[in-house]
Amino acid sequence: MKKTVFFGALTVAGLAAGVAAAGTLDDVKARGKLNCGVSTGLVGFASPDANGRWEGFDVGVCRAVAAATLGDSDAVNFVPLSSKTRFTALSSGEVDMLARNTTWTLSRDADLKLDFVGVNYYDGQGFLIPKSLGVTSAKDLDGATVCIQTGTTTELNLADFFRVNGISYEPVPVEGNAEAQKQYLAGACDTLTTDASALAATRAAFEKPDDHVVLPEIISKEPLGPLVRHGDNEWGDIVRWSLNALISAEELGITSANIDELAKGTNNPEINRILGTEGSMGEMLGLEANWAMNAIKAGGNFAELFEANIGESTPIGLSRGLNALWTDGGLIYSPPFR
């Protein structure tokens, strides 16, 4: 008898493991919380503030998705993940989505079985170096000791850049951003390399940011975006269109200030469709009619999120550049809400 119970339990456990793969939206709704994988602490993108509340540009995406699915931008468990553990955490279902400065590459898409749903920041790999060394170009770095975070695409780009330019370097692999900063400031390496946005964020946290400079060369394309697991396309659609809602909101002039006004109805049918007063966009995604409105209210539209977290008025001071709307000469573009 006991044996039967034991094998019964095993069977149930086996079945449960099989079912957990699909229906992420149902899981999130049942849990009442979105599990969102973020960086372990990168000022401006994802870091806890003085009160322990997670803030940042990537965190904003998590909050928008939580607001769209659950109607509450605070219904998020932020799971800080290192660059090494992030994909395993996503594949195993420990988190529902990743918004963690992750570069969209073919092998991650196809081989690691992940789905990138869009790009929220177009980045490239750069070098941070003390001004006192007098280096003005990355090509002058022959023989330099380079601090680099392991388990990232930057490692491969760095090897390629130095090989193509026929110069040598000494890699010092470090585990995370905090460790990289420490090694760099102690002078254990001459230069620190990672995505230029992250370098700007790291530099902003230094005691004397002006003593350090980001070299002009950008040695790679690093489109950073949120991603989900392969195999649950409904969930992928929700994350994709939550991001697109933020971008379209900027394009159509929907801000957190005027959103309530616009939600009463406007002459612009696309605004009406986004805000759910016209059509059935929410229903198609399996969400409430006001899903996009919640997403935009969570932290404002794309421009508001950018300016509040990493824009020129913040210590990180990134200009929009490539990350301006397509109408302003940038690459940020949302497919239409139709």
Tell whether residue 137 is a contact of another protein (CB under 8 A).
Answer: no
Shortest separation between residue 13's beta carbon and another protein, angstroms: 9
Tell whether residue 134 is a contact of another protein (CB under 8 A).
Answer: no
Tell whether residue 15 is a contact of another protein (CB under 8 A).
Answer: no
Residues forming beta bridges with residue 223, ordered by sequence position: 122
Question: Quick one: tokens of 144?
Answer: 């330099």
Tell whether residue 260 is a contact of another protein (CB under 8 A).
Answer: no
Shortest separation between residue 155's beta carbon and another protein, angstroms: 5
State the SS3 of 50-110.
Answer: CCCCEECHHHHHHHHHHHHHHCCCCCEEEEECCCCCHHHHHHCCCCCEECCCCECCHHHHH
Mask: binding to another protein, 176-195, rule CB under 8 A, as x and -?
------xx--xxxxx-----
In whole angstroms, give the CA distance from residue 317 to residue 197. 9
Mask: binding to another protein, 218-257, rule CB under 8 A, as x and -?
------------xx--------------------------
Provide the CB-side half-sphere exposure for 6 (13 A, CA).
3
Tell whether residue 144 is a contact of another protein (CB under 8 A).
Answer: yes
> Binding residue for another protein (CB under 8 A) from 27, 109, 175, 307?
175
Shortest separation between residue 286's beta carbon and another protein, angstroms: 23
H helical segments located in 192-299: 196-204, 233-252, 259-262, 269-275, 281-285, 291-299
In whole angstroms, give the CA distance from residue 330 to residue 12. 52
Q: Which residue ranges make up the site for another protein (CB under 8 A)?
A: 10, 14, 17-18, 21, 83-84, 87-88, 91, 107-108, 111-113, 132-133, 141-145, 150-152, 155-156, 158-160, 162-163, 169-175, 182-183, 186-190, 230-231
